[in-house]
């Protein structure tokens, strides 16, 4: 009986423990469901309660900082992103439109020939490619000049610089200077260019306008503005302008006469003027040969219009001119020549004829120009410079 009572007490204690455990379990479950119904995470040490986030608000929270960060740099893109956020739709990743390197490169100008039709079509398609502002590139100066008519106009010969010289037109432009010389003398037609010869060499050098080379005055015109000249000066002026014109057409610097420095070209001019010695050592032929830009014509029959001629007379005077053609007698013998220059007899720039001191069938002299002292100079093509 006593043992039965003891066993009953032990059973009662177990039941109590079981009931207590059941009550505690129910209480814990109650607390758990209460927390879940209020949307609260079971906090841990130091954690803060986190509110439940609705699905539609996930994009807003993730994208909004990006919108603010890019609003200043790209307003249009930021606006698009903001619109997507406000409508509660998910922003899709759209690949950025790109342009390949070939279409971004400046199109190469194609030379128009019969066999370049496909190249012209390709170039045309490249020109139609629309580029965004951030893709536009500044054209290099040289390309801009090639596409801008105002920039592509050649500067006057006296003001042109190497960077202003246009590209060569054709290789046929590299000829002797003769045709350029004849073009230059035509520019004086109809003007008033009187003759003036004096010894005011420091202020006047027989040219109608100041001649500039490499940024400095090489030869000076009459300070009174008369546009006067004398023979050596006007022929050098024509030579100088013709050289610059040809250089410009060939895409060369107008300040580069076969690499001559300013001092060398000044010495060239003194030799041209026969100011550095007698006619045997100082004349137009000596000048062009000394600086490698031309040669002396020794056979009179080889002379051509646009050559430069230097002669002496029996009265110990001399003359320098642009040669035009020979004057002949009825047998075809050379007895004189026609030229263009500046002389007192024509009161300035004009065409004129003179005769050599050769005799006719009656023994009479045609003129006073000494035939055996003639010097003829021809300026070579640039490619033939020495």
pLDDT-based confidence at residue 378 (cuts at 50, 70, 90): very high
Beta carbons of 322 and 352 less than 8 angstroms apart: no
* Segment 171-182, tens digit of pLDDT: 457 999 999 999
List CB contacts of 318: < 8 A, sequence separation 6 or more.
274, 279, 310, 311, 312
d(CA 175, CA 382): 7
Per-residue model confidence as pLDDT tens digits over 250-303:
999 999 999 999 999 999 999 999 999 999 999 999 999 999 999 999 999 999
How many domains would you assign to the chain?
A: 2
Residue matched to tokens 């005011």 = 200
The verdict on residue 189 lying in a domain is yes
- Cα distances from 328 to residues 166, 324, 325, 337, 361, in angstroms, run 43, 13, 10, 8, 14
CA-to-CA distance for 267 and 287, rounded, in angstroms? 9
Statement to judge: residues 159 and 296 lie in one domain? yes
Average pLDDT over residues 377-383: 98
Residue 131 falls within a domain, yes or no? no
Phi, psi for 218 (deg, rounded to 5) = -90, -50
DSSP bridge pairs for 352: 339
- Answer whether residue 68 is part of any domain: no
Domain identity same for 20 and 165: no
Is residue 95 domain-resident? no
pLDDT at 366: 98
DSSP codes, 47-85: ----PPPPGGGHHHHHHHHHHHHHTTT-HHHHHHHHHHH
One domain for residues 243 and 382: yes
Mean pLDDT of the chain: 72
Q: Which letter, b or e, does each residue of 146-171 get, where b requires 16 or more Cβ atoms within 10 Å of its Cβ? A: eeeeeeeeeeebeebeeebbbeeeee
Q: How confident is the model at residue 238 (pLDDT cuts 50, 70, 90)?
A: very high
pLDDT in tens, 338-359: 999 999 999 999 999 999 999 9
CB neighbour class for 197 (10 Å; exposed up to 12, middle 13-18, buried from 19): middle
In a domain, 250, yes or no: yes
d(CA 185, CA 378) in angstroms, rounded, equals: 16
If asked whether residues 25 and 152 sit together in one domain, one would say: no
The answer as to whether 348 is a domain residue is: yes
Share of the chain above pLDDT 90, in %: 54
pLDDT of residue 129: 29
| Secondary structure (3-state) at 15 | helix
Which pLDDT does position 296 carry in this prediction? 98
The count of other CB atoms within 10 Å of the CB of residue 260 is: 18
Sequence-distant (6+) residues with CB within 8 A of 269 are 218, 219, 236, 287
Q: Give the residue from 343, 347, 350, 348 showing the smallest Cα distance to 369.
A: 343
pLDDT computed for residue 268 by the predictor = 98
What is the C-alpha separation between 125 and 103, in angstroms, rounded?
A: 9
User: How many percent of the chain have pLDDT more than 70?
Assistant: 58
**Tokens 């079981």 sit at which residue?**
18
Containing structural domain, residue 332: 148-386
Tell me which residue has tokens 């006057």.
Answer: 156
In a domain? residue 252: yes
Asked if residue 381 is part of any domain, the answer here is yes
Q: Is the pLDDT of residue 125 over 50?
A: no
């Amino acid at each position: 009986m006593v043992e039965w009572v003891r066993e009953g007490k032990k059973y009662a204690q177990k039941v109590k423990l079981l009931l207590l455990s059941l009550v505690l379990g129910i209480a814990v479950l109650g607390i758990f469901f209460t927390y879940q119904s209020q949307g609260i995470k079971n906090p841990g040490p130091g954690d803060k309660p986190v509110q439940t986030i609705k699905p539609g608000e996930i994009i807003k929270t993730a994208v909004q900082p990006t919108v603010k960060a890019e609003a200043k740099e790209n307003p249009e893109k930021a606006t698009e992103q903001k619109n997507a956020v406000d409508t509660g739709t998910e922003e899709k990743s759209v690949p950025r439109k790109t342009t390949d390197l070939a279409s971004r490169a400046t199109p190469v100008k194609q030379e128009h020939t019969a066999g370049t039709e496909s190249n012209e079509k390709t170039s045309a398609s490249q020109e139609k490619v629309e580029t965004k502002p951030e893709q536009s590139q500044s054209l290099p100066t040289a390309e801009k000049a090639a596409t801008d008519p105002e920039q592509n106009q050649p500067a006057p010969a006296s003001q042109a610089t190497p960077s202003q010289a246009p590209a060569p037109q054709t290789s046929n432009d590299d000829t002797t200077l003769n045709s350029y010389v004849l073009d230059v003398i035509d520019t004086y037609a109809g003007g008033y260019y009187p003759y003036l010869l004096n010894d005011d060499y420091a202020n006047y050098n027989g040219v109608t306008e100041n001649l500039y080379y490499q940024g400095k005055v090489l030869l000076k015109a009459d300070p009174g503005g008369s546009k006067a000249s004398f023979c050596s000066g006007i022929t050098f002026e024509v030579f100088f302008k013709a050289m610059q014109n040809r250089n410009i057409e060939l895409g060369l610097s107008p300040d580069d006469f076969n690499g001559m420095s300013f001092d060398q070209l000044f010495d060239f001019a003194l030799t041209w003027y026969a100011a550095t010695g007698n006619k045997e050592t100082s004349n137009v032929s000596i000048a062009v040969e000394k600086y490698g830009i031309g040669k002396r014509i020794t056979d009179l029959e080889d002379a051509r219009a646009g050559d430069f001629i230097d002669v002496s007379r029996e009265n110990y005077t001399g003359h320098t001119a642009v040669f035009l053609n020979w004057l002949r007698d009825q047998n075809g013998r050379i007895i004189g020549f026609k030229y263009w220059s500046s002389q007192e007899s024509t009161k300035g720039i004009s065409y004129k004829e003179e005769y050599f001191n050769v005799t006719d069938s009656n023994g009479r002299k045609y003129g006073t120009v000494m035939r055996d002292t003639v010097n003829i100079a021809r300026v070579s093509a640039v490619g033939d410079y020495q």
